[in-house]
A and B are shown apart, each in its own frame.
Chain A
Amino acid sequence: MPSTKEIRRRIKSVKNTRQITKAMELVAASKMKRAQQSALAGGPYASLLAETLSQIALRNEDIEHPFFEKREVKTRGIILVTSDRGLCGPLNSNLFRELVQIKEAVKFVSVGRKGTQFLSRTNRDLIAEFEIKDDVPYLKVKQIVEFMVEKFLDREVDTVEVLYPRFVNTLVQDPTFLSLLPINDFSEVIEKLRGGKPEDHKPIEDNRSFKFEPDVNTVLKTLLPLFVNREVYQAILSAKASEHSSRMVAMKTAKDNASKLLDSLTLQYNKARQAAITQEILEIAAATAANA
């Protein structure tokens, strides 16, 4: 049995840990609230944009735009969205597990320090890294996307995808591949954004062809980049919400564990103390009895 002094020291250190994790939980909780709000607020815009484009793509199959160009996939382009800091549960490692399963050649753009570290540690082809703080600036995201789109147009990569922890709710975050370019099937994108089944969003019955104002090319020239930018932006917002949720849950578990450990240590300490006192009384009693 450890001495009372040793137990006291452990109690002190566990108490410290509990205090720190509690503080981190509170910080994460308040950040989570804000991140979740902005992720949810942006949802309708992003999904409506995807729906609009899917309507167009469905009816005008002869659209010619480099974003629609399908070619043999030799190199995938993946934007990996991770957190900057750790202590957020299995959030990042879940993403990395998805990554290792990829067989094809991949070129990566990393958003978030943890992802950058992982990619360089495992010697993967990292072509650029970006850092995004908690308030996600749309224009910064635009730069990242434009960088990747340029690589796509230069044929350096044959797809543009985003791998991010999709926010489902506070307890569930889902590592998700969002495939953006070439644009082919929207039902997948819409489903991921809305979180519903694809059957719920049937295309509207109206088979007259689309009229474009001022004309198709002008509209598509601005609409398509906007679409890609916005979808990535939404993905990053979602990743931020996931990060803070995951961290809050991890810290709450850590705090609860510390409390539990503290209880059992206190019990152990009291027992040890009691044993020592009993021992002392016994010794005194024995000494008195011997002297009498």
Chain B
Amino acid sequence: MPLQLEIVTPEARVYEDTVESVVVPTTTGDIGILPGHIPLVTEVDEGEIIVEKGGSSQSLAVSKGFAECVGDRVSVLAENAIQMEEINEEEVLAAQGRAEKALENMQSMDPEEVERLETTIRFARAQLIVKKRRR
């Protein structure tokens, strides 16, 4: 019985497929999920999701969110997610730099803006982690 994996962000459904196993980065370390896993709800940390399908593996970068596993269905709800192939390292670094620079004078900013920048930085970090591991 293979797993039904679904990775969804507020902007789009990033990934949807039947897979053999998936590794999810959680706040308490990576968790590997195989078919028949007990029902699980966990917090997802920024990092790499590794999907095993038909002998090949695929990886995605995610930032904070939740993962749920019930029966043969695994759902990942994340702030942001992107397939490894689509990551553009230079752009990510630039975005991270910009956000960090803007955050330097965070006292004078409204909390909305600070939160938005922090989200950007988190996602940038996750993408860089994934890129680094693949080299």
Which of A's residues lie within 8 Å of B, judged by CB? 41-42, 44-45, 48-49, 51-52, 55-56, 59, 137-140, 143, 204-206, 208-214, 218-219, 222-223, 226, 230, 233
Are A212 and B42 also in contact (CB < 8 A) when A41-B12, A45-B77 are? yes
Residues of B53-94 contacting chain A, CB below 8 A: 66, 68, 70-73, 75, 77
A48 & B75 in contact (Cβ 8 Å cutoff): yes
B112 & A206 in contact (Cβ 8 Å cutoff): no
B66 & A52 in contact (Cβ 8 Å cutoff): yes
Q: Chain B residues near A49 (CB, 8 Å)?
A: 77
- From residue B132, how far is it (CB to closest CB) to chain A in Å? 25
A210 & B39 in contact (Cβ 8 Å cutoff): yes
A44 & B8 in contact (Cβ 8 Å cutoff): yes
A219 & B41 in contact (Cβ 8 Å cutoff): yes
CA distance A100 to B6 in the complex (A): 42
B6 & A45 in contact (Cβ 8 Å cutoff): no
CA distance A51 to B77 in the complex (A): 11
Q: Does B40 contact A (CB under 8 A)?
A: yes
Q: Chain B residues near A138 (CB, 8 Å)?
A: 10
Residue of B nearest to A59 (CB): B39
Number of A-B contacts (CB under 8 A): 80
Q: Chain B residues near A210 (CB, 8 Å)?
A: 39-41
Contact of A204 among B10, B31, B66, B73 (CB under 8 A): B73
Main secondary structure of the interface of A (DSSP, over half): helix
Q: Chain A residues near B11 (CB, 8 Å)?
A: 41-42
Contact of B39 among A51, A137, A140, A211 (CB under 8 A): A211
B116 & A139 in contact (Cβ 8 Å cutoff): yes
Q: Chain B residues near A55 (CB, 8 Å)?
A: 39, 68, 70
What are 29 A-B pairs with beta-carbon distances under 8 A?
A: A41-B11, A42-B10, A48-B8, A48-B75, A48-B77, A52-B41, A52-B77, A55-B39, A56-B41, A59-B39, A137-B112, A139-B111, A139-B112, A139-B116, A140-B112, A204-B72, A206-B39, A211-B39, A211-B41, A212-B42, A213-B26, A213-B43, A214-B28, A214-B42, A219-B42, A219-B43, A222-B43, A223-B66, A233-B10
Q: Chain A residues near B70 (CB, 8 Å)?
A: 55, 204, 206
1/0 contact string of B24-64 vs chain A (CB within 8 Å): 00111001000000111111000000000000000000000
Given contacts A52-B68, A219-B41, 10 further A-B contacts (CB under 8 A): A45-B77, A48-B75, A49-B77, A139-B115, A140-B112, A204-B71, A205-B71, A212-B41, A213-B31, A219-B66
CA distance A205 to B1 in the complex (A): 14
Q: Chain A residues near B31 (CB, 8 Å)?
A: 213
- From residue A53, how far is it (CB to closest CB) to chain B in Å? 9
Residue of B nearest to A206 (CB): B71
Contact of A213 among B13, B28, B77 (CB under 8 A): B28
Q: Chain A residues near B6 (CB, 8 Å)?
A: 48
